[in-house]
Structure 1
Amino acid sequence: MEACSASQFKKDINIIIGRQIMILRKSKGLSGQLLAKKLGVSQQQISRYERGKCKIDIDSLIIILVDMDFSFDVFFRRVFNELRDNATYSYELSCAMFECELITDLITENKTNFNFW
């Protein structure tokens, strides 16, 4: 992976993971301030995560998902789908790491079973 493409992928993935954290937090009725307290960070740091300005550590992400009783698998399916829909270049790069055809086929065949939004 070229440095330019790696840089773009990192930017895209941070923005999308952050957006998914925000969507999940709001769907659970949780304020940024309360989430910050649970993670031991400032509310400003939560805002930076959600805007993709800072990358979130995997341990913090796991704490969020466990605390909100949300599946790691479903969370990353959402991330993957948003990459596909909004960051085509990064999606194509990520296909080397995931079974893209399988996931895409499952979504196409079972749209009602993959209600992510």
Structure 2
Amino acid sequence: MLGSARDGFGKAPGDPNRYVNGGMGNLAVVLFLLPGMGKVSAASDAASLRSSYSNIKCAFLVGICGAVLQVSGTEVLLGDVILSRYLVQYDLARQYSREIMRKKTIEDTLGRPNNEI
């Protein structure tokens, strides 16, 4: 549950995003909704977020999972929380004449999380 709003936070000039400031425990938290789908929209909104909140230490991208590998004996339903060590970018592959080869260095390609996490 998000606690009361914290002072000292605000939007940078020209930032089109809408934010909700609050807290969880002793941490300051900012929430915002990505208004569009796709990587370009997400990258633009993330850049605006960084301009308004330049001291972010940890960010969570939360949404609906596009695909989950079937694990025997485990049922995954819409609304379940799924934690992962990395994201799989859906178009991170190379197409050849007879096959599509997914890149093998997914963890390295999208970057690793901060070591302090």
Coarse TM-score class (shorter-chain normalised): under 0.3
| Larger relative contact order (Cα-Cα within 8 Å, sequence gap ≥ 6) | 1
Name the TM-score, length of structure 2 as normaliser.
Answer: 0.25
TM-score of the pair, normalised by structure 1: 0.25
Structure richer in helix, relative to its length: 1
Of Structure 1 and Structure 2, the greater strand share is in: 2
